[in-house]
């Protein structure tokens, strides 16, 4: 009974954190600490993804400045570009730059030609992302830490490492969320056998010491 109560309290903290910026900062350490354990990517690939996101987004921001508002999301070395650009030339250049990164496997260029989105629109997208993330956490048999959710212009983009059944559930959850215009899924689909192997590997990685024991 005590364990059930603890889980419910923790879940409530997560939902409130997703729906308020301050809360995200408050429990960020907890979420970050559990993400590696449940993520089907190896710790090395997680680090590569972070590097890709920081490097590509920073470079594109410097290159295009106010002529573009580009968000870069990398998961399992697949890159998603979302946001707005002044013209098709910038869109193509951004896609080419991301694709040229040596660690990138593929690029999904969803940039829209048009004026940069307003801060209100971006706030609405952030709220939509948070709401869907919270729903994913409470969805049974859905590995929420093995996927990423991006909302841009009320469209939702999903990336992750999931089985066919998990992918169908994730798309249904996102599609049913109020305020969602379209859902685009760019999953790496794995078999049930591969899912089991990755979960076992994750537990093995988790059991390894962080550093060599002292002699």
CB 170 within 8 Å of CB 197: no
Which is it for strands 147-152 and 182-190: parallel, antiparallel or unpaired?
Answer: unpaired
Q: Is the pLDDT of residue 1 over 90?
A: no
Please give the Cα distance from 42 to 62 (Å, whole number): 31
CB 171 within 8 Å of CB 158: yes
In the DSSP assignment, the letter for residue 145 is G
Residues of the chain with CATH 3.30.1340: 43-113
H/E run at residue 63: helix 43-64
Averaged pLDDT of the chain: 84
Please give the Cα distance from 157 to 155 (Å, whole number): 7
SS3 state of residue 212: coil
Where is pLDDT greater, at 9 or 109?
A: 109
Q: Does CATH place domain 43-113 in 2.40.30?
A: no
> What is the tens place of the pLDDT at every residue in 132-145?
999 999 998 899 88
> What is the tens place of the pLDDT at every residue in 36-50?
447 999 999 999 999
Residue in the structure block whose two tokens are 């010491």: 209
Structure tokens, 28: 């960020």
Q: Is the pLDDT of residue 121 over 80?
A: yes
Please give the Cα distance from 213 to 215 (Å, whole number): 6
The pTM of the full predicted model, rounded to 2 decimals, is 0.79
């Amino acid at each position: 009974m005590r364990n059930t109560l603890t889980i419910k309290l923790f879940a409530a903290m997560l939902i409130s954190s997703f729906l308020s910026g301050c809360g995200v900062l408050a429990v960020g350490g907890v979420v970050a600490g559990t993400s590696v354990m449940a993520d089907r990517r190896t710790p090395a690939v997680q680090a590569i993804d972070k590097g890709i996101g920081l490097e590509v987004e920073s470079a594109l921001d410097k290159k295009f400045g106010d002529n573009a508002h580009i968000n870069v999301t990398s998961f399992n070395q697949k890159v998603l570009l979302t946001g707005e650009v002044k013209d098709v030339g910038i869109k193509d250049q951004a896609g080419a730059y991301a694709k040229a990164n040596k660690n990138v496997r593929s690029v999904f260029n969803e940039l829209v030609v048009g004026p940069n989105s307003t801060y209100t629109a971006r706030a609405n997208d952030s709220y939509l992302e948070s709401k869907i993330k919270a729903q994913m956490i409470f969805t049974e048999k859905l590995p929420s830490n093995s996927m990423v959710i991006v909302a841009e212009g009320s469209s939702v983009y999903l990336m992750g490492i999931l089985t066919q059944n998990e992918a169908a559930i994730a798309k249904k959850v996102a599609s049913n969320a109020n305020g969602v215009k379209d859902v685009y899924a760019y999953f790496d689909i794995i078999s049930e056998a591969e899912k089991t192997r990755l979960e076992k590997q994750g537990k093995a990685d988790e059991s390894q010491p962080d550093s060599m024991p002292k002699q």
